[in-house]
Amino acid sequence: MKDLKILGTGCPKCRKLEAMVREHVTKQGIEAEISHITNLDEIMEYGVIVTPALVVDNEIKISGKLPSEKELIEALS
């Protein structure tokens, strides 16, 4: 099971990234636990300066932008 975290304060791009991740996980049948971290102190613990960010199994895969479909597939595989 993958541990997926979306880091972001709740801005439109952060919510869009969460929706994209949830859609992809469902479509691909990936078993994952998804959480959205909005607390700035927790976000800073990951060393992320620019959100939105996607953390997969405690590794930052995407930061500061919405990924293309290809980038999202690569990050989640």
Task: Measure the CA–CA gap between 9 and 68, rounded to whole angstroms.
Answer: 21
24 in Cβ contact with 30 (< 8 Å): yes
Q: Which of 3, 11, 49, 74 is catalytic?
A: 11
Does 14 participate in catalysis according to the annotation?
Answer: yes
Helix (H), strand (E) at residue 35: strand 32-37
Q: Which one is catalytic: 14, 43, 62, 75?
A: 14
Residue numbers annotated as active site:
11, 14
